[in-house]
Amino acid sequence: AAPMATPDGPDAPPEFDTSQPTIARVYDALLGGKDNFAADREGAALYLKYVPDAGRCAIENREALVKGVQYLVRAAGIDQFLDIGSGLPTQKNTHQAAQEINPEAKVAYVDNDPIVLAHGRALLATNNSTIVVTADLREPQGILENKEIQAHLDFSRPIALMIVGIHMHFHDDEKPDEWVRTIMDRLAPGSYLFITDFVDTGEPLQKGMEQAGLESLGNGWIRTPERIEQHFLGLPLIPPGLDFLARWFPEDPEADVPDVDELQPYQRILMAGIAKKG
Name the residue nearer to ligand SAM (CB basis): 85 or 158.
85
As a whole number of angstroms, the distance between CA 226 and CA 89 comes to 31
Shortest Cβ 126–ligand SAM spacing (Å): 22
Name the residue nearer to ligand SAM (CB basis): 69 or 275.
69
Q: Where are the extended beta strands (E) located within 119-159? A: 130-134
Residues that bind ligand SAM (CB under 6 A): 23-24, 27, 61-62, 65, 84-87, 111-113, 116, 136-138, 164-166, 169
Shortest Cβ 219–ligand SAM spacing (Å): 9
Name the residue nearer to ligand SAM (CB basis): 191 or 196.
196
Name the residue nearer to ligand SAM (CB basis): 164 or 189.
164
Q: What is the number of other CB atoms lying within 10 angstroms of the CB of residue 6?
A: 10
Q: What is the DSSP letter of 19?
A: S
Name the residue nearer to ligand SAM (CB basis): 153 or 259.
153
Shortest Cβ 261–ligand SAM spacing (Å): 26
Helix (H), strand (E) at residue 88 = none
Residues 140 and 115 sit within 8 Å (Cβ to Cβ): no
Helix pair angle (54-70, 204-216), 10° resolution = 100
Residue at 67: amino acid letter: K
Name the residue nearer to ligand SAM (CB basis): 60 or 79.
60
Radius of gyration of the chain (CA): 18
Shortest Cβ 27–ligand SAM spacing (Å): 4
Residues 68 and 250 sit within 8 Å (Cβ to Cβ): yes
Shortest Cβ 112–ligand SAM spacing (Å): 4
Shortest Cβ 131–ligand SAM spacing (Å): 15
Q: Which residues contact 77 (CB under 8 A, 6 or more apart)?
A: none
